[in-house]
Amino acid sequence: MALRLTLLASSRSSSVLDVRFGDSRSLDAAGWHEVQRAGPSLSHLAAAELRYCSPSVRCRETALSLGLSPVAQPALRDCDMGRWSGYTLREVAAREPQAVQGWLADPRSAPHGGESLVTFIQRIGGWLDTRPVGDGSWIVAVTEPGVMRAALCYVLKAPPQAYWHVDAQPLAVITLTGRAGEWSLNLEN
C-alpha cells in the first residue's frame, strides 16, 4: 500500500523582504490572520494518522493553530545556512557577493559553512524514505517552504537547480504518494 504524505508550508513570520536564513521568529500578525482565514479549508488535515512539523516556532504555531498537535521532527528543519543564519539574502550578498553567486550557481557548495543544497535535498529525501508505510497511512507535516521545495526536487528526481524554480507560498499544500524511492506528486482539488 502507498503512503500519503501531505506537506503544508508554514504561515509567514515576516514580509518577503525580511525573510532571513534560519529564521526562528514567531508568526507575525499577517501570518496569524492567514492561518485563521485558511483554518476551515485545512481542518481536514487533523484526520491524518501522524502529524509532524519542522522544529521552528512558526511551523509549530501554524500546526497548533490548525489543531494538528504535531511532533517536531529535527530532520525537517530548514537548510543549515551556517554563518549566514539570521541574515537576509540581500545582507549576505552585500557582504559576500562572490560567495552568494557561487552558492546559487553550484548546488554542492556551502560557502556559509552549513549544508549544501544537494545535502539538504538528500536529508529531506532520507526523511521521506523512512516514513512508515502502513495500510494507506496518511501523514501531514507542517514544514518550512524550503523543505517543500527540497521534497519536490527529491520526489521528481529533478536536478538540484530546480529548487530555485519552486515557489512555495505560505500555507501551500502538496501531497506525495508512494514509498521509499518511489514517490509521486499528487495534485488534488
Separation between Cα atoms, residue 108 and residue 110, nearest integer Å:
7
The model carries a pTM of 0.93
| Residue 172, pLDDT score | 95
In Å, how far from its chain's centre is CA 144?
A: 3
| Residue 189, pLDDT score | 63
Beta strand pairing call for 71-72 and 138-143: unpaired
Give Cα separations from 65 to 46, 152, 165 (angstroms): 11, 25, 30
| Residue 139, pLDDT score | 95
**Average pLDDT for consecutive 10-residue bins of the chain (189 residues)?**
91 73 86 94 95 95 95 96 93 96 96 97 96 81 96 97 94 94 86
| Residue 15, pLDDT score | 62
| Residue 133, pLDDT score | 74
